[in-house]
Amino acid sequence: MSFASISVVGRLARDPEVRVTQTGKTIVTASVAVGVKEKTQWFKVQAWDKTGDWLKDARKGDLVFAQGSLQLGTYEKKTGGTAIDAVVNAQVIRTSHKRDDSVVDEVFGGHAPRQATQQADIDLDIPF
């Protein structure tokens, strides 16, 4: 058995969207902006049912911690070319309505991860 997990901490780009499937399951979707040294990376976060309850009351600009599995896909951009779509299927969600970054300790329960001093360049041209 293998398992991959991703944790994302960032700000909501807009209010989350709440939908209900035909079978009655609730899915909450949000766009999270993660700032990494002058470059913003975007993640779509999806949370189902009770996990989504943590996200549905959040608002644009709120800090979000999402942990779950990563699903990568591609799509055609309106301006031409192909882009990568990164979706976090969240099993854990925490939010804060505070607007300053000191709240990261609150979201992580006093155990905020240290910021990396150097970010590795990642080649996203993965051949699969």
User: Per-residue pLDDT tens for 51-102?
Assistant: 998 898 899 999 999 999 999 888 898 999 998 888 999 999 988 876 655 5
Q: What is the pLDDT of residues 94-104, one digit of tens each?
A: 888 766 555 55
**Which domains does the chain show, CATH number per domain?**
6-99 (2.40.50.140)
pLDDT at residue 95 in the model: 87
Q: Which residues contact 26 (CB under 8 A, 6 or more apart)?
A: 18, 19, 20, 48, 49, 52, 56
Sort strands 26-36 and 82-96 into parallel, antiparallel or unpaired. Answer: unpaired
Q: What would the pLDDT profile of 3-14 be if each residue is shown by its tens digit?
A: 678 999 999 999
Q: What is the pTM of this model?
A: 0.70
